Each structure stands twice: as C-alpha cells, then as structure tokens.
Amino acid sequence: MAVTTQRRRQSRITSTVQRRQRQTANNQSAVSLVAPALKASLVGGFGILVLMLIGLIPPPENLPFVSLAFLVIPGYLVVCLATGLLAGVFAGDAVTNSQQGGKVGWMAGFWAGIFGGVVAMLLAAFGVMLVNFGQGVVAQFTPENLAQLANYGLTANSIALAGRVLGALIIYGVIGSLVSGLLSSIGGMVYPKLSNQ
C-alpha cells in the first residue's frame, strides 16, 4: 500500500515537473523571438512610412487616372512579406518550423503596423493626410450644433482635427496593424521552408 502511494506521488511530481519544463521552454522560445521581431518591425515600419509618403504625392495633371496607389498597394504587400521574412532571418535558429516563423512574423508585422499607425496619426494631425475625412466629420454637424459646441470650446477646426486623427487611428493603426501582422506572418511561415533548402 505504501509503495503504491509513493509511486503515485512520484508520477504526479514527475508530470508536474515535466509540465513546468515545457512551460519554461515555451516561455524562453517566445522571449527569444521578441528581439528579432522588434528589429524587423523597425525596418518594416520604415518601409511603411516611405510608402505612406509616396502615397501623398499627387498624380500628374496630364494623367489624372494614374495614381501612385498602384505602386503603394503592391509595395505594402512586399514590405509586409519582407518584414516577416526578415524577422525569421533575425531569429535564426530559434525558428525551426512554420508555426514559430508565423509567430515571429506576426509580432514583427503587428509592431510595424503600429509604427505606421503612429506616423499616420501624426501626419493627420498636421493636416497632411485624411483632410477630406476631417471635413466630412464636420459636415455631419448642423450649424446649430457647431454653434453649441463652440460654446464648449470645440471649433470646426478642432472637430476636423479629431476626426482626422481618429480616422488615422482606426484605418492605419488598428486595421493596418492587423493586415500587416497577417501578411508578415505569411512571410514568417515561408522563411523556414526557404532556409531548409
């Protein structure tokens, strides 16, 4: 009886120790992926910034149907995929399978999207981006509502500013970060397959 009880205790202790070792190994692998993801996100964030600035260039007057958005959208795809691949390159031996590559790519792309969102909010605050969006927010108020808001210190310009910044937060910050993370995770998942060949 005593031997059976002792064996049960030993098996419980052994399974608990093994579980803790697995958790520790998972935590260490996650921590080892953060630094490479952050490095790659800086490069990806810079790429997104360059694409945003290219998108602000007006199209030529003699070709109004040509827009630089035709360059920006494919460029965004390339930058996001490259960010995920670069995160895998920076992680090196820590990425051994597609799941780990996707994880490090997701982190890098998400942070790069956050950097892009912050830059977009700053550009919107200075009136460079989403100007029509801010005016559209102001157009939703009646002149009587604007007069009432002016009593509280909210002018039409401050409402337009808040609309532009909030629009940049939602479009570039939230949605852009999720899309960037998704595309970069695909790039990260491809990295182990390319590195094994």
Average pLDDT over residues 156-176: 89
Q: Where are the domains of the chain?
A: 33-196
Of 15-19, 45-49, 61-65, minimum mean pLDDT range: 15-19
Report whether 80 contacts 25 (CB < 8 A).
Answer: no
Distance CA 111, CA 114 (A): 5
Q: Is the pLDDT at 37 greater than 60, yes or no? A: yes
CA gap 37, 42 in Å, rounded = 9
Q: Which of 182, 197, 187, 186 is closest to 85 using CA atoms?
A: 187
What pLDDT is stored for residue 118 in this prediction?
93
pLDDT attached to residue 27: 47
Task: Please give the Cα distance from 77 to 79 (Å, whole number).
Answer: 6
Closest CA to 120 of 129, 108, 107, 112: 129
Q: Is the pLDDT of residue 7 over 50?
A: yes
- The pair of structure tokens assigned to 5 is 């009880």
Q: How far is CA 167 from CA 108, 122, 143, 171, in A?
A: 23, 12, 22, 6
How many C-alpha atoms does 180 have within 13 Å on its Cβ side? 30
- pLDDT at 101 > cutoff 70: yes
Residue ranges with strand state E in the chain: none
What does pTM read for this prediction?
A: 0.75
**pLDDT, tens digit (0-9, with 9 covering 90-100), for 62-89:** 766 666 667 788 899 999 999 999 998 8
Residue 61: which pLDDT band, with cuts at 50, 70 and 90?
Answer: confident
Torsion sign, CA atoms 91, 94, 99, 104 = negative
